[in-house]
């Protein structure tokens, strides 16, 4: 019996025909399911469909939302930083980068600039060289005005004052990073004569302001008991050297003694000599 006759014999057998039909049906079903799966996957992943990622750096979140949504993209903020040259609350970095291509629905990861400038505590900078003061401020990310103010002082090139506009700042003041401060620096003794102001009853901040206004050098601040920065304004001057009304040259150093006892400040005789400070 040849092969053709063998096939004809199997074809007449109902059991064999049933098996063959089942096998063919299974193959057809499998191919159909596979084709459907490939079509579904292609639609689900949007294979081959890409969009251009827009540049969202420098934009606020509401602007980012509108722009990315319009492109069929999503976004997620993953970090924040502080960049002084970038507007607060805007995007600093993005991934994928601008103008690259990504699939529709892709998440764009964002790094935002802080909404508020970080603040640092102003260190003690009085009576140090202005170069050292500038280096210290810049290390704290505080800018220094290039126009240094020079005033008469007993000591040349030492910092007399740190100003924010017209406001004198004390050590411990909180200053925003990126802020610009102005240094007031001594240029040596002046030539004009000035009268020493009466400093009794004045606190540390008032004394500094009054002396600098007269182009005098704030000298030693001697407290009659330990003092912290938070209580500094409670202490007032009860003795000063040179004494009030004395005529001196601009830049002359003025030393003071301070106490929390206001009555002491108002009743102490200010005629004692300079040796009383030491």
pLDDT tens digit string along 45-93? 555 568 899 999 999 999 999 999 999 999 999 999 988 788 999 999 9
Helix or strand holding residue 111 (H, E): strand 107-113
Q: What is the CATH number of the domain that holds 259?
A: 3.30.10.20
Helices (H), the chain: 3-11, 14-45, 61-70, 130-139, 204-213, 262-267
* Residues 41, 62 within the same domain: no
CA 2 to chain centre: 92
* Residues 39, 167 within the same domain: no
| CA-based nearest residue to 223, from 265, 263, 252, 251 | 265
Strand pairing category for 107-113 and 74-81: parallel
Average pLDDT over residues 218-226: 90
Torsion sign (Cα): 241, 243, 244, 248 = negative
Give the pLDDT of residue 240: 94
Q: What is d(CA 219, CA 254) in angstroms, rounded to the nearest whole number?
A: 5
Give the pLDDT of residue 275: 47
* Residues 252, 171 within the same domain: yes
Give the pLDDT of residue 263: 80
* Residues 79, 134 within the same domain: no
Residue 175, strand partner residues: 120
* Residues 68, 128 within the same domain: no
* Residues 174, 266 within the same domain: yes
User: pTM, whole model, 2 decimals?
Assistant: 0.56
Q: Is 147 left (phi over 0), alpha (psi -120 to 50) or beta?
A: beta
The percentage of the chain sitting over the pLDDT mark of 90, rounded to a whole number, equals 47
Residue that wins the pLDDT comparison between 10 and 152: 152
Q: What is d(CA 161, CA 48) in angstroms, rounded to the nearest whole number?
A: 66
For the stretch 173-186, pLDDT in tens is 999 988 999 999 99
Residue 101 belongs to domain spanning: 50-113
* Residues 54, 22 within the same domain: no
Average pLDDT over residues 84-106: 91
* Residues 86, 221 within the same domain: no
* Residues 162, 106 within the same domain: no
* Residues 183, 125 within the same domain: yes
Helices (H), 12-126: 14-45, 61-70
Q: What is d(CA 110, CA 58) in angstroms, rounded to the nearest whole number?
A: 11
What is the count of structural domains for the chain? Answer: 3
Token pair listed for 218: 């704030």
For residue 13, is pLDDT > 70? no
Q: Which residues contact 272 (CB under 8 A, 6 or more apart)?
A: 239, 241
For residue 211, is pLDDT > 70? yes
Average pLDDT over residues 126-132: 90
* Residues 259, 139 within the same domain: yes
Per-residue CA distances from 246 to 69, 191, 209, 249, 258 (Å): 75, 16, 18, 10, 20
* Residues 258, 145 within the same domain: yes
- 191 falls in which pLDDT band (50, 70, 90)? confident
Edge-to-edge strand order for the sheet containing 107-113? 74-81, 107-113, 91-95
């Amino acid at each position: 019996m040849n092969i053709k006759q063998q096939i004809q014999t199997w074809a007449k057998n109902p059991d064999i025909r049933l098996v063959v039909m089942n096998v063919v049906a299974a193959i057809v079903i499998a191919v159909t399911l596979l084709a459907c799966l490939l079509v579904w996957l292609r639609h689900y992943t949007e294979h081959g469909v890409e969009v251009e990622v827009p540049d969202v750096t420098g934009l606020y979140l509401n602007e980012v939302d509108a722009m990315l949504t319009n492109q069929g993209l999503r976004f997620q903020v993953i970090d924040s930083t502080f960049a002084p040259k970038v507007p607060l609350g805007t995007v600093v970095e993005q991934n994928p980068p601008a103008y690259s291509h990504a699939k529709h629905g892709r998440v764009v990861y964002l790094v935002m600039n802080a909404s508020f400038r970080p603040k640092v505590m102003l260190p003690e900078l009085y009576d140090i060289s202005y170069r050292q003061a500038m280096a210290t401020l810049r290390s704290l990310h505080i800018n220094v005005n290039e126009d240094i103010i020079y005033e008469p002082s007993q000591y040349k090139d030492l910092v007399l004052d740190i100003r924010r506009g017209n406001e004198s700042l004390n050590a411990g003041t909180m200053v925003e990073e990126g802020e610009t401060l102005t240094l007031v620096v001594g240029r040596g003794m002046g030539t004009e004569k000035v009268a020493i102001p009466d400093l009794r009853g004045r606190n540390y901040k008032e004394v500094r302001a009054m002396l600098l206004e007269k182009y005098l050098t704030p000298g030693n601040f001697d407290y009659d008991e330990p003092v912290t920065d938070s209580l500094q304004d409670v202490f007032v001057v009860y003795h000063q050297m040179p004494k009030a009304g004395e005529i001196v040259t601009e830049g002359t150093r003025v030393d003071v003694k301070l106490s929390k006892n206001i009555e002491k400040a108002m009743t102490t005789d200010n005629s004692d000599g300079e040796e009383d400070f030491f």
